[in-house]
Structure 1
C-alpha cells in the first residue's frame, strides 16, 4: 500500500485531504464540516439533485462520531465521482455509511478500502437511500428491522452489515434489536434480548410491557444493579442458570446521588444479596475477565450482560447495560439498547456492534473504584 497526502489536488486547500491508494482503489478522506462543505461535494450533489441527502447530513451534530467524507476522484482529479458520509462511535471497530452520493459502487468500495486500511471488523450502511439490491451487490447482508427504537432515536427503517474478515462470527445468529423505551430500562432490555436470541422467548413477546415488568422487578430505582438484576432473572426464568459477577461487596452505582438517597438504595442492594443467597443465585466476587467473556461467548451456551460506562462511546460517564453475544477476531459483538439521536446515532450503530477487546476492558471499569459488574445467563 502506498499513501500520498495532497491538500491541494483533491480538496479545498485548507482541508488537508488525504489521498490514499490501496489495492487499486484510490480515495480521498476529508473531515466533514457541515458549514464548510468541499466544493467537489457541492458540485456533485448539484449535478445529481441530491440536496435532500446533504440536508439530512446537516440535521444533527455528528461531530462526536468523527464524521468524514470518503470520496472517489474523477479522471481529472478536480471533481468527485462519488462520496459517502461515514461515521462511527468512538472506541469501536466499524464504519457506518450514512449515505452515498454519486456512483454507489465506487463510494462503497472506497469506504471498504478505508475500513480495511484501518484494520476494522465491520461496515454498516444505513438504509436512508441504500437499496437492497445495491447493498447486496456490495456484499452486505440486510439487518432485521428493529422491534422498537430507543426513545427519541428515529433511525432508518432498514440497515445493512458486512463483516470484513473470513472468520465466522461466534454467536453469529442475529439477535432481535429492541431499543429501550425509557432512559433506565437497559438492564431489562438486554436480558429480554438474550432470552429471545437463545430462543426461549418469542420475539413477539419482546415489548414494552415485558420491558417495564422485568425492570420493575430488578430496579434499584432507577437503575438495575447486578445482583438485583440476577435475582429478577432467576425469578422470571427459574430453570435458566444465572451467575452474577461483581468484584466489590459495597453498594454500587450510587456515587452520583445525595447521601440520603444512597442510604435507602444500599438497603435494597443488601436485600438483593440476601435474596440471591436464598434462591441460589451465585455472586462471584472475582473480576470477570475479557478472556472469560470471549470463551463464554465462543462456546455459544451463555450470554453475558455487561455493565459499561458510556464515557468513551457517547461522551458521558453513565453506567449502562449491554448484551455481549458474539466474538470476532479482536472484538466482542454487543447489542446496545440505546442510541443517541443527538449525534446521528441510530439502531444501525447499536445493533451487532463490534467493540475491540482493549476498549471493552476500559469501558467495563465502572465508577471511581473501577468495579466490574456482569450477569451470565444460560438457556
Structure 2
C-alpha cells in the first residue's frame, strides 16, 4: 500500500483513519488497473479524497478513493483496496460526520458478496448509459440513515398500501439519455415505468426520441410542451404542469430571431394544454409540495440548472421519486464522464432540500418549472 503522510489533517481517531485530498500519483503503488482508473480522469470538480487506514510505520493497510457531485448528500467509492472492512468503516464515519445520508460503490473491483458483507445492496444494471460516461457494469448503495432503505422497483406490481413516508425509496430503472437534449423525455418515461403505467421493455431509444420529438421546443423540452406531449402519449395520465411565469422560458441564450419562433411554439403549447385539459399551475412549487407529491407516490419531473452539480449553466430535467430525512432522491439521466461521473452517481441520488431548491430556481427571475405525474396506484 502507499505511504501515508505522518500527520494528516482531517484524521478520524475513532477508526484510526486519515482523509486527504486526492492528487495524481498517490495511486502509483496500487494495482495498475486501479491506478489508471484513478489518474486518467480529472475528478477535481467532484472533490476527490483518499480515505485511508494507517498501518505500522508509513504504510496504509487500506484505502478508498471517494468523490461526490457538489451540492449532494452522498459519497461514491470508486475503489477500495487493502483492508476493505476497515476502510468501509472509515468511509462511513467520514460520511456521517459530513451529514451525508448515502454511500455508493462502483463495481469495478468489488464482488456482490463483498459489497453485501459491508451492508451494500446491488443496483440494477443501467438500461443505457449516457454518451461518454462509461461506468461500471455494476454498482451498490448503502443508506446511512435507519429511516431509509432501497426496495425493488414497483414496475407494475400491485401495491395495496403506500410505503411509509420517508422510509422506502423504490428504485426506478436507470436509463441514460442517448442524446444531449432528450432528458425531459427520458425522465417522463422512467417515471411512467416506475409507476407501472408502462412496461419496462417500453423504455428504449425509440420511445425516448418519439416522446422528445412531440415535446421539444428545439432542442430542449419546456414544461408546458412536455406536459402536453405526455398527455397526448398517455391520455389517461394525470399530468399537472407547474410554471410560475407566463413568459417564454429557456430561450435567453438565443438571439431574438431564434427565440421568437420558439416562443410562438410555447404559446401554442399553452393553447393545446387548455384544449386537452392539462392544468398549468401558475403558483411557485415549493420543495415541501415536491415532498408531499412523492409521499402520495406521485412523480415530479423537475427542471434545474447543472451549474452546482456539474459546473455549467444548462437547464436539465431530473426525476424526483423518493424522500429521506433531509434530502430528495432523484434520478438524473445524464452523467458527465469527463469528471469521472457515472450512472452510479446519477441513480438514486440524494440532494438536500436546500440544494435542490437553489438548483431549481431558474434564470431569469428564479422561476420553477415542473411536471407532476399522478400515480396510477392512487
Tell whether the structures are fold-level matches, with TM greater than 0.5: yes
Partner Cα separation in structure 2 for residue 12 and residue 203 of structure 1: 53
Partner of 1:216, secondary structure, is helix
Q: 2:94 aligns with which of 114, 136, 145?
A: 114
Answer yes or no: is the 8 Å Cα contact 1:149–1:179 preserved in 2.
Answer: yes
Query: CA, structure 1 residues 85+168, in 2 after alignment: closer, same or farther (shift >3 Å)?
Result: closer
Q: 1:54 aligns with which of 15, 35, 41?
A: 35
Q: Which residue is 2:225 aligned to? A: 228
Partner of 1:240, secondary structure, is coil
Shift of 1:118: 1.0
Shift of 1:90: 0.2
Per-residue CA deviations over 1:1-26 (Å, capped at 9, x if unaligned) read xxxxxxxx94167xx5421123xx12
Q: 1:98 aligns with which of 78, 100, 103?
A: 78
Q: 2:22 aligns with which of 5, 18, 32?
A: 32
Alignment of 1:1-20 (within 5 A): 10-11=4-5, 16-20=8-12
Per-residue CA deviations over 1:55-105 (Å, capped at 9, x if unaligned) read 1111110000000000000134x2100000000000000000000121121
Partner of 1:194, secondary structure, is helix
Mean CA deviation greater in 348-357 or 159-168: 159-168
Partner Cα separation in structure 1 for residue 234 and residue 28 of structure 2: 56
Q: CA RMSD in A?
A: 1.3
Partner Cα separation in structure 1 for residue 10 and residue 370 of structure 2: 42
Shift of 1:191: 0.2
Answer yes or no: is the 8 Å Cα contact 1:10–1:17 preserved in 2.
Answer: no
Partner Cα separation in structure 1 for residue 144 and residue 16 of structure 2: 19
Question: Structure 2 unaligned runs (5+)?
Answer: 150-165
Answer yes or no: is the 8 Å Cα contact 1:11–1:17 preserved in 2.
Answer: no
Shift of 1:106: 1.5
The answer to whether 1:254 aligns with 2:251 is yes
The answer to whether 1:325 aligns with 2:306 is no
Partner of 1:172, secondary structure, is strand
Partner Cα separation in structure 2 for residue 12 and residue 209 of structure 1: 56
Answer yes or no: is the 8 Å Cα contact 1:332–1:357 preserved in 2.
Answer: yes
Q: Which residue is 1:6 aligned to? A: none
Partner Cα separation in structure 2 for residue 12 and residue 128 of structure 1: 30
Per-residue CA deviations over 1:335-377 (Å, capped at 9, x if unaligned) read 0000000000000000000000000000001112111000000
TM, length-normalised to structure 2: 0.92
Alignment of 1:55-74 (within 5 A): 55-74=36-55
Partner Cα separation in structure 1 for residue 122 and residue 231 of structure 2: 34
Partner Cα separation in structure 2 for residue 172 and residue 64 of structure 1: 28
TM, length-normalised to structure 1: 0.92
Q: Which residue is 1:355 aligned to? A: 351
Partner of 1:19, secondary structure, is coil
Partner Cα separation in structure 2 for residue 123 and residue 26 of structure 1: 20
Partner of 1:166, secondary structure, is coil
Partner Cα separation in structure 2 for residue 80 and residue 168 of structure 1: 33
Shift of 1:173: 1.6
Partner Cα separation in structure 2 for residue 330 and residue 299 of structure 1: 18
Partner of 1:69, secondary structure, is strand
Alignment of 1:171-190 (within 5 A): 172-190=169-187
- Report how many residues are paired: 356
Query: CA, structure 1 residues 119+238, in 2 after alignment: closer, same or farther (shift >3 Å)?
Result: same
Partner Cα separation in structure 2 for residue 30 and residue 153 of structure 1: 26
Q: Which residue is 1:304 aligned to? A: 300
